[in-house]
Chains A and B, each alone.
Chain A
Amino acid sequence: MYRRRHNITARIFDRQIHTPPPGTSVHRARRFYENIVPSSTIYDVECPDHSFRKFTEDGKYLISFSRNHQELIVYRPTWLSFSCKQEDCDSQDLPQKAKKFESFFTQLYSVPLASANELICKDFFLYAESNQFGLFATSTAQIYDAPATGGAIQGVPSIEKITFHLLRLEDGVVLDERVFCNDYINLAHSMGVFIFDDLLAIVSLRYQRIHILQIRDSGSLVDLRAIGEFCREDDELFLNSSTQASADKRGPQHLLSNNIVNVPRTEQPAQESPFLSGIKQRLLSFIVRGIQNEEKDETLRIQTLKKKFYFHFQDYVDLIIWKVQFLDRHHLLIKFGSVDGAVSRNADSHPAFFAVYNMESTEIIAFYQMSSEELYLLFEQYCDHFHIPSKSSPYMNFISSHSNNIHALEQLKSSKNKATSFPLFIKKVLVSLPFNCQSQSPSPYFDQSLFRFDEKLISAADRHRQSTDHPIKFILRRPPHTLKFKIKPGPEAGVTDCRTKRISSFLFHPILPLALSVQQTLFLQPAVVNIHFRR
């Protein structure tokens, strides 16, 4: 009877003689992280006053921004180089000169990205791993009551200039830029942009367009298509030529109503175009066909259509694109909702819909309401396919979700059983769709099958959390169920002033047993940075 041994030397010997079951080589390799844990902490490290954003997914760079949000500083994670000549080294404490930020991180370069009136959006960072390119965003100030000119939606604020910078992270050279003027793109937590391999989808909320760009190996950003008003690349040309022809026939008094597509952007559009074009047309026709097919009987069919579709026609027409993600290279998952919900903080109370759109055939494949049971079942079973797998970084596919991890699934099922209302529960779960790109840390310490930890205090999702004084415990899932390490943000002695609210964020290196915890107050005091590492 073979008993699994916990000693690391024994495990290395076992690895020499036992092959893992098929398809589990990554899981087997990850088990070594049970033995190699970041158990030592250097409290309140003296470090440059930057806001540290995250480690890149391959662990090669640490991205941080200067406090004035104008410069990008990139570090290379390294390790301590400190040797101990005495006999009993493990009990020795680290010398003071080793307990520095510079022992673990080497600054590579500092690049000014934002010019005078612009600020770097410090929540925004996307990484194209295959080429080691980073995408950053700078923007000017937001204008709240912008007039709806040039095809813009009323009610969405406007930003005078948003610039996306594509940088080669090896040396900090800016390779390309893409500017959006008088537009609004949701930059917080990279919500308005999704990257998949070399494709970028940028949602312009104000003009209701999804821009698909490709990142070439040379570093240039190439426009592929703009979905919204027009679905295919030559739609605009076709519509322009046809309205031109019909206008010429009817005479000049009808010129204004028919020539809406020819009106240049600076003029006020006088009237709405008589027909819906682009993705809205595809969406509405899909809904109509679906409702039509429900009823066999002709008269019943017309009644159902009236009740379900025509009565709410204007609501459907007023739907706008909120958020987008790729499902694969040709398919997008689009979230539609009302204008009010797009900019409000509490989007849960506004109705929302999901649609799957095929970019190549320009067809809508599926349409679901927010509390759709069918969509929830698909999400429960195939959650990993919503977190789209990327070819360039295979270990990104092993981030724990309820589709690939039994413990996460049990947690989901228990909250499903506890929920009082199933549609409300579905809404709560589906609100995270479409997912924010690259928002989860691939660190093995967040693997639910290895460690158990308090999800409210720390998790793979990179967002700020309420800070506690107690250290966060990481306990082994498998026997012997021992406490392996603790992460304590903040100073070692704890915080004396309990009144001020403190938030912490955690940056885990994806491969090395290295983590940073940053605790800050809301009053722009310098943050307390701890380094957690394995001695």
Chain B
Amino acid sequence: MGSWSVGNWPSFDPHNFSQLRPNDPSSKKTPITYHPTHDRTLPPPDQIISSEAKNILLRQFYQRGDEKLRPKRAAPENLAPEQECKHPRASVALSSEPPK
């Protein structure tokens, strides 16, 4: 912190670092105050940051399940859909049915 004045770095609140006593008593630098000129980077007021409770594997399962159950509006996408709904072939062999 003694080398604080070397940087000339701005702060958005001039009262930050006001308690600092630089090693060199002659330099009476207070940090330059910077206020952002836009609010593009402000977080939304109701934002809460928390970690995802579900692990990544479960997230994948949920995502794929949602994709399958969501009613399709456009042409069916190529999700390799037939594979999940394959039925047991060991039960009855049906010759007319094409193997998927």
Contacts and interface: CB of A to CB of B under 8 A. Distances in A.
Contacts of B81: 294
Chain B interface size, under 10 / 10 to 19 / 20 to 34 / 35 or more: 20 to 34
A328 interface: yes
Contacts of B61: 356, 365-366, 378
A290 B69 contact: yes
A111 interface: no
A374 B82 CA distance: 11
B60 interface: yes
B35 interface: no
Nearest to A375: B84
B39 interface: no
Contact of A378 (B60, B65, B75, B91): B60
B97 interface: yes
Nearest to A351: B88
Chain A interface size, under 10 / 10 to 19 / 20 to 34 / 35 or more: 35 or more
A382 B61 CA distance: 12
B43 interface: no
B69 A293 contact: yes
Contact of B72 (A289, A296, A328, A331): A296
Given A290-B68, A312-B91, A374-B64, A328 B58 contact: yes
B76 interface: yes
Contacts of B70: 293
B83 A369 contact: yes
A291 interface: yes
Interface in A337-375: 338, 350-351, 356, 365-369, 371-374
**Looking at B57, B60, B68, B70, which has the most chain A CB atoms within 10 Å of its CB?**
B57
Contacts of B65: 365-366
A70 to B, nearest CB: 42
Nearest to B73: A296
Nearest to A337: B88
20 contacts: A290-B84, A293-B68, A293-B70, A294-B81, A295-B76, A296-B75, A312-B87, A312-B92, A315-B87, A328-B55, A328-B58, A351-B89, A365-B62, A366-B61, A366-B65, A369-B83, A369-B84, A374-B64, A374-B84, A382-B57
Given A294-B76, A315-B88, A371-B86, 14 more contacts: A287-B85, A290-B69, A308-B85, A309-B87, A315-B87, A328-B55, A338-B88, A338-B90, A351-B89, A356-B61, A365-B65, A372-B83, A382-B56, A386-B57
Interface of B: 54-58, 60-62, 64-65, 68-72, 75-76, 80-81, 83-92, 94, 97
